[in-house]
Amino acid sequence: MVESVVVLGDRKKRISAFLLKNALYLVMFFLLSIIVIVQPSFLSFQNFYFIVTQSSSRIILALGIASIIVLGYTDLSLGRSVGMAAIVASSLLQAVNYSQRVFPDLPRLPIFVPIFAVMILCSIFMVAQALVVSKLKVAPFIASLGFQLIIYGLQSIYIDRLNDSSPIGGLDPAFSNFAQGAIEFSSFRIPYIIIYALVASLIIWFLWNKTKLGRNMYAIGGNIEAATVSGVNVVANILAIYVIAGMMYGFGGALEGARTGSVTNMLGQGYELDAIAACVVGGVSMRGGVGTVPGVVTGVLLFQIINYGLVYIGVNPYVQFIVKGMIIVLAVAIDSQKYVKRR
């Protein structure tokens, strides 16, 4: 009698634990079901292909910021970094025959030179930010809030002085192709952009799981005190993680510039929130120390599916904001339940 009660209690506990663990996915599945019921045509290969392509640059950016979140920090400067990278890369990669070039006398550059340059540029800002955070002990939220303003100001001056604040267009076809091209197998084409996202995921996965830097990152995020007394050079590791994030922002920014084809200083605005949201949905804990690459990728894809799905069935755009906001809050609430101390 007593035993059966225990078993029942156990099962109840296990069911509620299962529900808690998967609540987010259940909600997502529920939303998806609604979308599919309203518009069964949503489940097409064409849409799937479209969503994956759309998600690709977001995956790259989300993976960059995810490392910082696993450290237990956060970064609001992602969006403006992306904008800066897009502006600078595009201004250096306009077609030579375009009449309104930012730098009229600039010879045609191999596209990897400016792309690499903006990756370095973003990294430099991230190094500065990492030093402010780790040495001056400024809360990452505030530090990055300041940096995103600084970066926005600088890029606005750049575009204002050099291009009269008009959008930077007329990009080098090679640069456009870098973002919009694809490998073609007869009728089937794989966009380059998906390949970049795939390669970025593999590199980050390797970094997180196989290298010392990755292990230290998890340790610092999980318990910075334990990492310090164990002799981990916390500042050096934070710097390295920020540099890698900067590289990802720079690459993602160049990609966004080439993808849109006409770059203003508004590009990238709010991207950081999408990236953070995707990380949280993908199980990266805002408390630090927890997160996986497949989780982040899944988070981006899920978020994008819901996003696109809501557009597809013609939900009012304002309502879309509400739904997205609720998903984010739910994701964090579920994450918190795992750590909350019941007393």
Partner 1 sequence: MYVLEMHDIKKEFPGVRALDRAQLRLRPGTVHALMGENGAGKSTLMKCLFGIYQKDGGEILLDGKPVCFENPRHALDHGVSMVHQELNQVLERSVLDNIWLGRFPKKGMVVDDRKMLRETKAIFEQFKIKINPQQKIGTLSVSERQMIEIVKAVSCNARIIVLDEPTSSLTESEVEHLFTIIRALRAQNVAVIYISHKIDEIFQIADEVTVMRDGHWILTSPISAITRDQLISSMVGRDFSNMFPAKTNVPSDEIVLRVENLSGAYQPTVKDVSFELRKGEILGISGLVGSRRTEMVETIFGYRKIKSGRITIDGAPLVKHTPCESIAHGIGLVTEERRATGIFPLMDIQFNAMIANLRNYVRFGVVDYRKSTKDTAWVIDALAVKTPSQRTSIANLSGGNQQKVILGRWLLISPKVLLLDEPTRGIDVGAKYEIYQLMIDLASKGNAIVFISSEMPELLGVTDRILVMSNGRVAGIVKTRETNQEELLMLAAKYI
Binding site for partner 1 (CB under 8 A): 206, 210-212, 215-216, 218-219, 222-223, 225-232, 289-290, 342-343
CB of 229 to partner 1, least distance (A): 5
Q: How far apart are CA 248 and CA 250, in angstroms?
A: 5
CB of 56 to partner 1, least distance (A): 26
CB of 96 to partner 1, least distance (A): 41
Nearer to partner 1, 42 or 205 (CB): 205
Looking at residue 167, the DSSP 8-state letter turns out to be: P
Pull the structure tokens for residue 288. 């630090």
CB of 292 to partner 1, least distance (A): 12
Nearer to partner 1, 233 or 262 (CB): 233
CB of 231 to partner 1, least distance (A): 4
Q: Is the separation of the CB atoms in 254 and 168 below 8 Å?
A: no
Nearer to partner 1, 125 or 218 (CB): 218
Q: Is the separation of the CB atoms in 320 and 314 below 8 Å?
A: no
Nearer to partner 1, 316 or 341 (CB): 341
Nearer to partner 1, 9 or 104 (CB): 9
Alpha helices in the chain (DSSP H): 2-38, 45-70, 78-92, 112-134, 140-163, 173-180, 192-210, 212-222, 224-229, 234-260, 271-281, 293-312, 317-339
Element (H, E) at 188: strand 188-191
Q: How far apart are CA 274 and CA 270, in angstroms?
A: 7
CB of 237 to partner 1, least distance (A): 11
Nearer to partner 1, 14 or 161 (CB): 14
CB of 57 to partner 1, least distance (A): 27
Surface-to-core class of residue 188, CB atoms within 10 Å of its CB (0-12 exposed, 13-18 middle, 19+ buried): exposed
Angle between helices 212-222 and 234-260 (to 10 degrees): 110
Nearer to partner 1, 153 or 294 (CB): 294
Element (H, E) at 182: strand 182-185
DSSP string, 10-51: HHHHHHHHHHHHHHHHHHHHHHHHHHHHH-GGGS-HHHHHHH
Question: What is the maximum span of the chain, computed from C-alpha positions, in angstroms?
Answer: 88
CB of 341 to partner 1, least distance (A): 8
Nearer to partner 1, 294 or 325 (CB): 294
Nearer to partner 1, 137 or 342 (CB): 342
CB of 216 to partner 1, least distance (A): 8
Strands 182-185 and 188-191: antiparallel
